[in-house]
Chains A and B, each alone.
Chain A
Amino acid sequence: MAQPLVKKDDDRDDEAEYSPFLGIEKGAVLQEARVFNDPQLDPRRCSQVITKLLYLLNQGETFTKIEATEVFFAVTKLFQSRDIGLRRMVYLMIKELSPSADEVIIVTSSLMKDMNSKTDMYRANAIRVLCRITDGTLLTQIERYLKQAIVDKNPVVASAALVSGIHLLQTNPEIVKRWSNEVQEAVQSRAALVQFHALALLHQIRQNDRLAVSKLVTSLTRGTVRSPLAQCLLIRYASQVIHESGNTQTGERPFYDYLESCLRHKAEMVIFEAARAITELSGVTSRELTPAITVLQLFLSSSKPVLRFAAVRTLNKVAMTHPMAVTNCNIDMESLISDQNRSIATLAITTLLKTGNESSVDRLMKQITNFMSDIADEFKIVVVEAIRSLCLKFPLKYRSLMNFLSNILREEGGFEYKKAIVDSIVLLIRDIPDAKESGLFHLCEFIEDCEFTYLSTQILHFLGNEGPKTSDPSKYIRYIYNRVILENATVRASAVSTLAKFGAMVDSLKPRIFVLLRRCLFDSDDEVRDRATLYLNMLAGDGIVGETGKDVKEFLFGSLNVPLGNLETSLKNYEPSEEPFDINSVPKDVKAQPLAEKKAPGKKPTGLGAAPTGPTSTVDAYEKLLSSIPEFAGFGKLFKSSAPVELTEAETEYAVNVVKHIYDGHVVFQYNCTNTVPEQLLENVSVVVDASEAEEFSEVVSKHLRSLPYDSPGHTFVAFEKPEGVAFGKFSNVLRFIVKEVDTSTGEAEEEGVEDEYQLEDLDVVAADYMLKVGVSNFKNAWDSMGDDCERVDEYGLGVRESLAEAVNAVINILGMQPCEGTEVVPSNSRSHTCLLSGVFIGNVKVLVRLSFGIDGPKQVAMKLAVRSEDPAVSDTIHEIVASG
């Protein structure tokens, strides 16, 4: 055996550069394909030619329509040959060519013959080919064979039919759904992969029938599932069932035991799938998490990089919501910082950043600095984001973190990376007042040498808003004016606007700004000159634009009162004429879409886009929407809009969620409705609200929605009058509408409609609706400056609780306030905890709360609640809320 091997190696040296496809050319191969037409087929040669054709396709060569058709017809001739190898290549070729409908007919009969062949391999492959290229009409002809194939005793044939079914379900669902009996039988197959494919198909057939899925999961979790892949699927389906059953039941979660038992499975993929599923359970408790964390921790020290990566990535996600649960893994994590695989190292670092405590920040920062230079941009972004959240958690550490950010800002990097850093600095400036001056200074340094126009203009805009409010605004002027001298037109124009803002806000700088702006009048760019002229006139206050200083500021800092999208359309429609464009003619209605987007819970708008302080962008959008409705105009200023509350379950015919808008003396419910039935058009849609369990509320206005077509969200409103201040209540809702059938092919609705109703879930107005989450950076300062005049202290027994963390979360949720300085996180095993909260109560009253919790042996939790606010009545109200919660 050794002899020939040596000989072969020699051969190889001689022809080191040889490739069987060297110098291959499409034209020549197409010529060669003529051998397919020979009366005496040479299977070997034909296979070679097909391989060459496939090679060409694989290298990205394309055939023209005519070439493809010719090759296709030639290939169909090869069905005459009974050579198995050749037949396999023919199958592959047909799939690659994806013939058109009229061509498919040519091979249909050959493939159908193969589907009924005695050779299993022919059957399996013919099924896959035919299903790939077929259309609906043909499918009904072969349906009978496919059903048989699903329960074929050969696993390869069965799998081929099942996988084809999964693909066909996307295009011809009504046909595939008829196979569910056969698929059900295949789920019981002894062949591992058949079971996997059958389970996948069965679930897809039934995925809209929640009860059926639940039954399927129940029966399979009790039975035997052979293939690890099928087991993974089952875990996914089980967690879906858990998710859909919601948090309504207290106590034991359904299927948790099953997930937990999968942690002891012999296949690593199943163990990991189960661990991941457990960590992703909504509202998972630390007791439920523990076994999953334990197996993931074992994976961390595995020799396989894939396993380490999977584990650290999952733990990283857990750390965002349950940092304390992951602290046990910190030692293993730290050893991963030096992992060969930089992805693993990055994830380890960011996890440590999330779980670390204040004292370890400096040490970690040192480690990261060494490490930043040898990772890719996308990982750097991850690290920057982790540092941003760390900084918000430990505001006192801003100095070292800000230094780190400014250092990496100076290094090489792509746009996304730089943007992440700039966004972080902006966020720090906004949230940590002490960091403002140094942060602005770092940004100024950055724009001195910034290659990204977008970032430069954004920073200049931000600088214009924040710079004038600093102790020494004049020091920024140099940086801004340098932009006018050195940059491209876009940045120059933006710099001019920034200069004008300084001029408007800081009187002492005005004369100097005038000099600079006058120089800009000679700029080569129209926009820059126009802006300079405008601002000069405005700041001079000679009455052409803006009468008073207030108007000037309004013009410079105020926001445009119309949605930009609407303004754009109006400007496009505007025909140049004698009549000037009137901005008041731009519709103020915000299109429904942006509001209907579900805001990810807890996701704060970050970065420059939302840089101006004050209400967040969603609130802005809501405010605009509401103020455009005349009925609500007299309600005064909008205090708070809640996050959308779902009133329907996912995947029902009509999806409705509600946003509660709180005013001083009113509350407006905004029902966002989506019609998910393509065959229906809803008209006269309104929500009928029964407020019999909310005595203090009385309905004043109900605005219905004229029409609600398929898949384009719309909203209806119901407004209530309530006493000034706080009032609670429970509201039951019914969606009422006229439904009209729609012909989906033409899109036309029928004339006649039927009145119908749809029961929605109840809605509560609770204490948290009257509280804005507003954080303070230094709680102690704020607490001390508030003074104890309006302090109210009392103690409460919270009864038996699962854990201290659960009790803390419950109180935070009842009050709806912003936890400060990371105190919402309770270290595991601790017996007592202090949590600091801040917020603004309706009536714009600042409230600070200090909660001290203690737990004793049998899980009895006691709490001391100290409230300070600007109004003693509010302090009392907070106590009432807690007492009744």
Chain B
Amino acid sequence: MASFAAYQDNCPFVKNILLLDSEGKRVAVKYYSDEWPTLSAKLAFEKSVFSKTQKTNARNEAEITMFDNNIIIYKFIHDLHFFVTGGDDENELILAAVLQGFFDAVSLLLRGNVEKQEALENLDLILLCLDEIVDGGMVLETEASVVAGKVASHNADSGAALSEQTISQALATAREHLTRSLLK
């Protein structure tokens, strides 16, 4: 991935997206830059990001900080901490748009129940969501409704029954439902 350096200069580049819990543990993370080559480097980065931002209030508006020549934009809700990292010469507002897109798409996919428990139960949706927002560091889509639409295209309108079933059951019914309609 070293080759990214070649076009980081001109193109907005996202170095990583992190979703951590209230203790700084991973819920889902995705790295696009080789700046942190090993697992321990990644974990150390996550730890310092978490500890540096932990005490701030990023619950209403996205907050921002800068260290080790990286810009980190973050936002918290309940027990989930969302982070987007970019280089220090990146346009902060583009990174903020990526964070907002991720944050809102997750809210949509989890139907407003943005909590660690819910996120883990729907980890497949979160991972797909990351996959749809950024591809190898390039911004793919920042509009939350579009991202959520792409991720949830196969489990639409299972909402009504959702609260009475377990999530995975609901998803399964939805998927089967959709598969049937496709097979027609």
Q: Are B94 and A200 in contact (CB under 8 A)?
A: no
Q: In the complex, what's the smallest C-beta–C-beta distance from A538 to chain B, in angstroms? A: 46
Q: In the complex, what's the smallest C-beta–C-beta distance from B15 to chain A, in angstroms? A: 16
Residue total for B at the interface (Cβ-Cβ under 8 A) = 61
CA distance A313 to B62 in the complex (A): 17
Could you say which residues of chain B place their CB within 8 Å of the CB of A109?
Answer: none
Q: Given A83-B175, A171-B3, A306-B93, are A18 and B164 also a contact pair (CB < 8 Å)?
A: no
Q: Are B168 and A237 in contact (CB under 8 A)?
A: no
Q: Given A170-B6, A306-B73, are A268 and B11 also a contact pair (CB < 8 Å)?
A: no
Q: Given A54-B127, A58-B29, are A229 and B10 also a contact pair (CB < 8 Å)?
A: no
User: In the complex, which residues 180-228 of chain A have their Cβ closer than 8 Å to any Cβ of chain B?
Assistant: 193, 196-197, 200, 203-204, 207
Q: In the complex, what's the smallest C-beta–C-beta distance from A340 to chain B, in angstroms? A: 7
Most buried by A among B3, B92, B171, B182: B92
Interface: A693 (CB within 8 A): no
Q: Mark B106-136, 1 if CB is under 8 A from A, else 0.
A: 0000000000010011011001100100011
Q: Are B128 and A376 in contact (CB under 8 A)?
A: no
Interface: B22 (CB within 8 A): no
* Contact partner, A229, options B7, B28, B94, B121, Cβ 8 Å: B94
Could you say which residues of chain A place their CB within 8 Å of the CB of B131?
Answer: 92, 95
Q: Are B91 and A92 in contact (CB under 8 A)?
A: no
Q: Are B123 and A51 in contact (CB under 8 A)?
A: yes
Q: Which residue of A lies closest to B153 (CB)?
A: A121
Q: In the complex, what's the smallest C-beta–C-beta distance from B182 to chain A, in angstroms? A: 7
CA distance A166 to B123 in the complex (A): 29
Q: Are B94 and A268 in contact (CB under 8 A)?
A: no
* Contact partner, B94, options A12, A43, A232, Cβ 8 Å: A232
Q: Are B117 and A58 in contact (CB under 8 A)?
A: no
Q: Are B123 and A85 in contact (CB under 8 A)?
A: no
Q: Which residue of A lies closest to B128 (CB)?
A: A88
Q: Which residue of B lies closest to A197 (CB)?
A: B138
Q: In the complex, what's the smallest C-beta–C-beta distance from B25 to chain A, in angstroms? A: 9
Interface: A307 (CB within 8 A): yes
Interface: B67 (CB within 8 A): yes
| Interface SS majority for chain A | helix
Q: Given A20-B121, A170-B3, are A43 and B140 also a contact pair (CB < 8 Å)?
A: no
Q: Given A163-B138, A269-B94, are A85 and B163 also a contact pair (CB < 8 Å)?
A: no
Q: Which residue of A lies closest to B173 (CB)?
A: A44
Interface: B64 (CB within 8 A): yes
CA distance A624 to B59 in the complex (A): 59
CA distance A236 to B91 in the complex (A): 11
* Contact partner, B39, options A51, A60, A132, A200, Cβ 8 Å: A60
* Contact partner, B10, options A62, A84, A240, A341, Cβ 8 Å: A240
User: In the complex, which residues 721-755 of chain A have their Cβ closer than 8 Å to any Cβ of chain B?
Assistant: none
Q: Are A51 and B124 in contact (CB under 8 A)?
A: yes
Q: In the complex, what's the smallest C-beta–C-beta distance from B119 to chain A, in angstroms? A: 10
* Contact partner, A88, options B10, B63, B154, Cβ 8 Å: B154
Q: Which residue of B lies closest to A203 (CB)?
A: B10
Q: Mark B41-83, 1 if CB is under 8 A from A, else 0.
A: 0110000000010001100011111111000010000000000
CA distance A92 to B93 in the complex (A): 28
Q: Are A44 and B64 in contact (CB under 8 A)?
A: no
Q: Mark B4-27, 1 if CB is under 8 A from A, else 0.
A: 101100111000000000000010
Q: Are B12 and A229 in contact (CB under 8 A)?
A: yes
CA distance A54 to B123 in the complex (A): 9
User: In the complex, which residues 795-810 of chain A have their Cβ closer than 8 Å to any Cβ of chain B?
Assistant: none
CA distance A55 to B119 in the complex (A): 12
Q: Are B26 and A269 in contact (CB under 8 A)?
A: no
Q: Are A341 and B182 in contact (CB under 8 A)?
A: no
CA distance A48 to B29 in the complex (A): 19
CA distance A240 to B163 in the complex (A): 54
Q: Are B57 and A48 in contact (CB under 8 A)?
A: no
Could you say which residues of chain A place their CB within 8 Å of the CB of B6?
Answer: 170
Q: Given A159-B140, A166-B138, A233-B10, are A306 and B120 also a contact pair (CB < 8 Å)?
A: no
* Contact partner, A48, options B28, B141, B168, Cβ 8 Å: B168
CA distance A170 to B8 in the complex (A): 12
Could you say which residues of chain A place their CB within 8 Å of the CB of B52?
Answer: 376
CA distance A167 to B134 in the complex (A): 13
Residue total for A at the interface (Cβ-Cβ under 8 A) = 74
Interface: A852 (CB within 8 A): no
Q: Are B127 and A92 in contact (CB under 8 A)?
A: yes
Q: Are B120 and A60 in contact (CB under 8 A)?
A: no
Q: Are B117 and A12 in contact (CB under 8 A)?
A: yes
CA distance A132 to B131 in the complex (A): 13
Q: Given A19-B120, A232-B12, are A309 and B26 also a contact pair (CB < 8 Å)?
A: no
Q: Are A310 and B92 in contact (CB under 8 A)?
A: yes
Interface: A445 (CB within 8 A): no
CA distance A55 to B172 in the complex (A): 19
* Contact partner, A306, options B62, B142, B175, Cβ 8 Å: B62
Q: Are A163 and B123 in contact (CB under 8 A)?
A: no
CA distance A95 to B131 in the complex (A): 10
Q: Given A85-B175, A229-B12, are A60 and B93 also a contact pair (CB < 8 Å)?
A: no
User: In the complex, which residues 275-321 of chain A have their Cβ closer than 8 Å to any Cβ of chain B?
Assistant: 276, 303-307, 309-310, 313
Q: Are A340 and B171 in contact (CB under 8 A)?
A: no
Q: Are A84 and B93 in contact (CB under 8 A)?
A: no
Could you say which residues of chain A place their CB within 8 Å of the CB of B68?
Answer: 378
Q: Are B138 and A304 in contact (CB under 8 A)?
A: no
User: In the complex, which residues 47-94 of chain A have their Cβ closer than 8 Å to any Cβ of chain B?
Assistant: 47-48, 50-51, 54-55, 58-60, 62, 82-86, 88-89, 92
Q: Which residue of A lies closest to B21 (CB)?
A: A19
* Contact partner, A268, options B62, B67, B93, Cβ 8 Å: B93
Interface: A128 (CB within 8 A): yes
Could you say which residues of chain A place their CB within 8 Å of the CB of B65?
Answer: 341, 343
CA distance A54 to B29 in the complex (A): 11
Q: Which residue of B lies closest to A45 (CB)?
A: B172
Q: Which residue of A lies closest to B9 (CB)?
A: A236
Q: Are A310 and B61 in contact (CB under 8 A)?
A: no
CA distance A876 to B138 in the complex (A): 61
* Contact partner, B117, options A19, A196, A303, Cβ 8 Å: A19
Q: Which residue of B lies closest to A91 (CB)?
A: B131
Q: Which residue of B lies closest to A303 (CB)?
A: B61
Q: Given A340-B56, A376-B67, are A167 and B136 also a contact pair (CB < 8 Å)?
A: yes
Q: Which residue of B lies closest to A267 (CB)?
A: B93
Interface: A821 (CB within 8 A): no
CA distance A204 to B140 in the complex (A): 17
Q: Which residue of B lies closest to A8 (CB)?
A: B163
Q: Which residue of A lies closest to B30 (CB)?
A: A58
Q: Are B136 and A163 in contact (CB under 8 A)?
A: yes
CA distance A307 to B168 in the complex (A): 40
Interface: A502 (CB within 8 A): no
Q: Which residue of B lies closest to A269 (CB)?
A: B93
* Contact partner, B138, options A83, A200, A203, Cβ 8 Å: A200
Q: Are B121 and A309 in contact (CB under 8 A)?
A: no
CA distance A86 to B155 in the complex (A): 12
CA distance A95 to B178 in the complex (A): 25
Q: In the complex, what's the smallest C-beta–C-beta distance from B157 to chain A, in angstroms? A: 14
Could you say which residues of chain B place their CB within 8 Å of the CB of A92?
Answer: 127-128, 131
Could you say which residues of chain B place their CB within 8 Å of the CB of A95?
Answer: 131
Q: Which residue of A lies closest to B134 (CB)?
A: A163
Q: Mark A134-167, 1 if CB is under 8 A from B, else 0.
A: 0000000000000000000000100110011011
Q: Are A82 and B127 in contact (CB under 8 A)?
A: no
Q: Which residue of B lies closest to A304 (CB)?
A: B61
Q: Are B179 and A43 in contact (CB under 8 A)?
A: yes
28 contacts between A and B (CB under 8 A): A19-B117, A20-B123, A48-B168, A51-B127, A54-B127, A55-B123, A82-B183, A121-B153, A156-B150, A160-B135, A163-B140, A167-B135, A170-B4, A171-B3, A200-B7, A229-B94, A232-B94, A233-B10, A269-B91, A269-B94, A276-B91, A303-B61, A306-B93, A306-B96, A307-B92, A307-B93, A340-B57, A376-B67
**Which 8 residue pairs across A and B have the least CB separation, nearest first?**
A170-B3, A269-B93, A44-B172, A310-B92, A4-B163, A84-B154, A85-B175, A51-B124
Given pairs A20-B123, A305-B61, 8 additional interface contacts (CB within 8 A): A4-B164, A7-B163, A44-B175, A60-B42, A89-B124, A163-B135, A204-B10, A343-B66
